[in-house]
Amino acid sequence: MARQPRITFIGAGSTVFMKNIVGDVLQRPALSEATIALMDINPQRLEESAIVVNKLIATLGVKAKAETYTDQRRALQGADFVVVAFQIGGYEPCTVTDFEIPKKFGLRQTIADTLGVGGIMRGLRTVPHLWKICEDMMAVCPRAIMLQYVNPMAINTWAIAEKYPEIRQVGLCHSVQGTAMELAHDLDIPYEEIRYRSAGINHMAFFLEFEHRQKDGSYRSLYPDLVRAYREGRAPKPGWNPRCPNKVRYEMLTRLGYFVTESSEHFAEYTPYFIKEGREDLIEKFGIPLDEYPKRCIEQIDRWKAQAAEYRSADRIEVKQSKEYASSIINSVWTGEPSVIYGNQRNNGCITSLPTDCAAEVPCLVDHNGIQPTFIGDLPPQLTALIRTNINVQELTVRALISENREHIYHAAMMDPHTSAELDLDQIWSLVDDLLIAHRDWLPEWTQNPTLQKKAS
């Protein structure tokens, strides 16, 4: 009997996300007998996830099996694929801290999970745990592929490539395909008729081409249509979240000539143009959803409580195909059937206008050989320039982690586009001090200054 894949899910307590990934995997014939190893440090969430997976297996009528672990290395033993999805420090206390302390300095944020002082702190909390997974993988499943769904994606991917270059890894996000679907909807064009090519870094990649297939088989650029629809007030159309009208990206399209692949609420805090003290007119004009991420966290927690009860009592769990890339990657590597995904890996010259060692997001071919990023060349200079402002923050955060040099944490905050547009140097230093003290139980020891600790206590 042919060997079946073993897929380990670290952070399986992210039950809804885990359900989507496992549901996708089990609907693929070549993967339907896989072993799903679920690992989480929260026994209750782990048990809930195991119930969901077993009901998925029963609903689909497949021969897969689920195993549960609270020990990470045991869960990774013999894995072929490792899906990682967790949030160190959770909504409380860490996300709340990342919003409330900056607010005292007059620094307002929307999502704070990728860049800015919130993204820097999340990176410092998260990377050491990802490195521990890499260490365990090197010991018990060195050829496994890590499918990493954790923010801050670019900082994480860069830090893993820097310290564990042998690990086969890819950072995954659904912003590219998700945005393409949104734009097709805005223009009333079937998504299946769209062709696109995107490149950049995670959360700041741009559609270099965005085209519509014509009846004669040729393709026409949709950029003029998007600009026209925005200027005439026909786009963006209302989306899934009424708090997020998505105007920032359309405005940037008119300035840069290209559409960015991450949402307006994210993009507003990656740049210095939209969130400004005393400029409530900008907040209103572009519909900037300040403090959006904490609101989502509260809604997700409430939604999950209701869903968990529903899943416990349900005999069957309906499975819809999600837009995540994980099952496509696993299927292609396992069977050799090729696919193309958008993934984050070490740049290595794929985008020639960006640093070699940064984490780039480009189209990747996937087959028996694994995940192979494709060559892009130079990006348009205005895109390169804007992306570099974000890479500066990512690089200094990674340098801080690799060298254990806490000064680079301050340098990263100092270079952040939004933070530096709002705060002076003394404020930035004080803000970082306060965040490091507040997060001390979640951060590596080297991030702490003994003098400040005495002052804090």
Tell me the per-residue pLDDT of 328-380, one tens digit each, with 9 for 90 and over. Answer: 999 999 999 999 999 999 999 999 999 999 999 999 999 999 999 999 999 99
**Residues 6-24: tens digit of each pLDDT:** 999 999 988 889 999 999 9
Which residue in the list 174, 212, 266, 418 is annotated as catalytic? 174
Query: What are the tens digits of pLDDT across the range 68-99?
Result: 999 999 999 999 999 999 999 999 999 999 99
Which residues carry a binding-site annotation for substrate?
151
What class, spelled out in words, does domain 6-171+305-323 have in CATH?
alpha beta
Percent share of the chain, pLDDT over 90: 90
Global confidence as pTM: 0.96
- Between β-strands 204-213 and 219-221, what pairing exists: parallel, antiparallel or unpaired? antiparallel
- H-helix or E-strand containing 398? helix 381-403
Binding residue positions for Mn(2+): 173, 203
* CA gyration radius, the chain: 22
**Best CA proximity match to 147, nearest among 300, 13, 328:** 328
Q: What are phi and psi of 273, to 5 degrees?
A: -95, -20
CA distances 316 to 56, 119, 148, 362, Å, are 7, 38, 29, 38
Per-residue CA distances from 182 to 188, 238, 325, 393 (Å): 10, 10, 18, 29
Amino acid at 151: N
Best CA proximity match to 173, nearest among 197, 196, 194, 157: 157
Comparison of pLDDT for 227 and 300, the residue scoring more: 227
Per-residue pLDDT band at 454 (split at 50, 70, 90):
low
pLDDT at 53 over 90: yes
In 128-224, DSSP assigns E strands to 145-148, 168-171, 194-201, 204-213, 219-221
* Active-site residue, 174 included: yes
Question: Tens digits of per-residue pLDDT, 180-221?
Answer: 999 999 999 999 999 999 999 999 999 999 999 999 999 999
Confidence class of residue 452 from pLDDT cuts 50, 70 and 90?
A: low
- Strand, helix or coil at 455? helix
Q: Are 353 and 92 in contact (CB under 8 A)?
A: no
pLDDT at residue 453 is higher than 70: no
Q: What is the mean pLDDT of the chain?
A: 96
